[in-house]
Amino acid sequence: MKVDNSNSAEKILQLQMMTEIFKEAAGDSDSFQLILESLTKAMTGDSTSPDITSILPNSGTTVQSGNTSIQEAINNASKKYGIDSDLINAVIRQESGFNTQSKSSAGAEGLMQLMPGTAKELGVTDAYDVGQNVDGGTKYLKGLLEMYGNSKELALAAYNAGPGTLRKRGVDEVSEISKLPNETRNYVQKVMKYYGK
């Protein structure tokens, strides 16, 4: 790493300040590690660093994919389906960490981690297109909210585990979420925490 001694103290101070800002924005997660790596490369003049704005949630930046930013897509879906934009934000944060190119080991794709079959049923032809993904994921979430009497916790549990899992385990009330796998229980808790309402 090539460091100009006359600016090294200033760069270290900048890096420390930016680290705290990014840690607060992304949490101590994979997203934070990507941000830190990108920032370090940018400060050392490494031109191979990725665009960090694509992984910063709620930072005032607008991430573009095609002609739609994430915030625009969230606002559009919120209005279209009558779902609180903060809830959509919370689901995206948990599902993909605002990474538009996210793909799970199970094959779920994009911001709201749509499985290919579900995406097709929802009319999503490109799960990595921000507008389509957020619209499809929000449409699916709306259907789950309707299915579970507008219970956010049950809808989120079904979003994570699938309605069939809730049915098989006899989960009809929020108090019965304890019957679901740890992953789903943790998922519901984290999304509700991010939602903060």
116-141 residue pLDDT tens: 999 999 999 999 999 999 999 999 99
pLDDT, average across residues 56-80: 70
Give 197's pLDDT tier (boundaries 50, 70, 90): confident
Q: What is the mean pLDDT of the chain?
A: 80
Task: Count CA within 13 A, CB hemisphere, residue 105.
Answer: 0
Q: Residue 61 pLDDT more than 80? A: no
Percent of the residues in the chain that have a pLDDT greater than 70, as a whole number? 66
Catalytic residue list contains 20: no
SS3 content of the chain, % helix, strand, coil (to 5): 65, 5, 35
Structure tokens at 133: 């993904």
Give 37's pLDDT tier (boundaries 50, 70, 90): low
What pTM value is reported for the model? Answer: 0.68
What is the rounded distance in angstroms from the CA atom of residue 6 to the CA atom of residue 16?
17
Sign of CA dihedral 175, 115, 123, 168: negative
pLDDT, average across residues 11-34: 56
Q: What is the pLDDT of residue 4?
A: 47
Q: Residue 56 pLDDT more than 60? A: no
What is the rounded distance in angstroms from the CA atom of residue 111 to the CA atom of residue 131?
10
Beta-strand runs (E) in 39-119: 64-65, 68-69
Q: What is the pLDDT of residue 42?
A: 52
Structure tokens at 189: 């808790």
The residue from 20, 24, 37, 95 that is catalytic is: 95
